[in-house]
Structure 1
Amino acid sequence: MTKRTSAKYKLDRRMGENIWGRPKSPVNRREYGPGQHGQRRKGKMSDFGLQLRAKQKLKGYYGDLTEKQFRKIYAEAERRRGDTGEMLVGLLERRLDAIVYRAKFVPTVFAARQFVNHGHVLVNGRRCNIASAQLKDGDVVEVREKSKQLALVLEAVQSVERDVPDYLEVDHHKMTVVLRRTPGLADVPYPVQMEPNLVVEFYAQN
């Protein structure tokens, strides 16, 4: 399990955007970057800077992904036929921790990683504690019986902060979710604009 070494909201401050759309984000109060020079006027960003920013934003959104993990996912997306940016988003959204987060079983993508690692979910009836596991269309994810009454789960299910996307079929009474299809960029309810095309350009040039 990778350990997050920096406060998660530092990414929000650095990007100047509320990446996860959370009401507690410091960007809601201060839109400038962190540190003593955060309020300085920003100059025009280079093409490389825009590409790097798009990559850091997309990678950071999915929690504790290391650069090595993210690059591996990108390489798989590049290997497949079709639009690489769309494939990248599809692969990220098919991760088990992303599905658990999208189904509103937990409040944050960071909690989803921990929830899976601690063995609280079943995939097609079998226990799975690998957050990066790639699901296939039709796979069923279920919260274990012992875990259905956890305060974390009950609070997340009742939250009105997020909606469940239509590529998932969720039953909050049974605590199950079915991946109906692999989503594209337009299907994913990102709170901010993601630009996987710039991520593709970044890796193509570096």
Structure 2
Amino acid sequence: MSKRHSQKHKIDRRMGENIWGRAKSPINSRPYGPGQHGQRRAGKMSDFGLQLRAKQKLKGYYGNITEKQFRAVYDEASRRKGNTAENLIGLLESRLDAVVYRAKFVPTVFAARQFVNHGHVKVNGKRVNIASYRVKPGDVVEVREKSRNMALVLEALQSGERDFPDYLDVDAKAMTATFTRIPEFSDVPYPVQMEPALVVEFYSS
């Protein structure tokens, strides 16, 4: 299990955006970067800087993914037929922890990884504890019966902070979610603008 080196709120402040759309984000009250130089006026960013920022924002959004893991996802996306940027988003959204987060079984992407790692999730009736497990269209993801009364799960499902995306068929009462299809970039409910094309430019330059 990879170690999270920076808190999620630090990622928000570093990017200058509320990248998960959460009400508790410090960006809502302090819309500038952290540290003593955080309020300085930002200069114009280079093309490389824009590409790096796009990569860091997309990688940071999915929680505890390391650079090595993220690069491996990109490499697979580039090998597949079609648009690499679209493939990249499809692969990221197919991760089990991403599906658990989208289904609102947990409140954050960070909690989703831990929730999966601790064995609270089944895929097609079998327990899976690997957050990066690739979910396929038609797969049914569910919270184990023993875990369904956890406060974390109940609070997340009742939260009005996020909606279910169209590519998941969620039964909140049964705590199951069917991954109906691999989404396109335009289908994914990012609270802020993501730029996967710039991520592709970053790795291909």
Q: Give the shorter-chain TM-score range.
A: over 0.9
Larger displacement relative to structure 2 (172-181 or 3-12): 3-12
In structure 2, the residue matched to 1:43 is: 43
1:197 aligns with 2:193: no
Per-residue deviation, residues 35-93 of structure 1 (Å, max 9, x unmatched)? 00111111100000000000000000000000000000000000000000000000000
In structure 1, the residue matched to 2:151 is: 151
In structure 1, the residue matched to 2:69 is: 69
1:102 aligns with 2:128: no
3-state secondary structure, aligned to 2:166: coil
Counterparts of 2:146 and 2:179, CA distance in 1: 23
1:138 aligns with 2:138: yes
Q: Which runs of 5+ in 1 are unaligned?
A: none
Shift in Å at residue 198 of structure 1? 0.1
Percent identity of paired positions between Structure 1 and Structure 2: 75
In structure 2, the residue matched to 1:183 is: 183
Tell me the number of residue pairs that the alignment of Structure 1 and Structure 2 aligns: 205
TM-score, normalising length: structure 1: 0.99
Shift in Å at residue 3 of structure 1? 1.1
In structure 2, the residue matched to 1:126 is: 126
Shift in Å at residue 6 of structure 1? 1.6
Per-residue deviation, residues 92-123 of structure 1 (Å, max 9, x unmatched)? 00000000000000000000000000000100
Counterparts of 1:142 and 1:179, CA distance in 2: 11
Counterparts of 1:197 and 1:126, CA distance in 2: 36
Counterparts of 1:127 and 1:167, CA distance in 2: 22
Shift in Å at residue 8 of structure 1? 1.4
Counterparts of 2:121 and 2:39, CA distance in 1: 44
3-state secondary structure, aligned to 1:141: strand
Shift in Å at residue 7 of structure 1? 1.5
TM-score, normalising length: structure 2: 0.99
Counterparts of 1:42 and 1:5, CA distance in 2: 25
1:63 partner amino acid: G
Shift in Å at residue 27 of structure 1? 0.4
Runs of 4+, deviation exceeding 4 Å: none
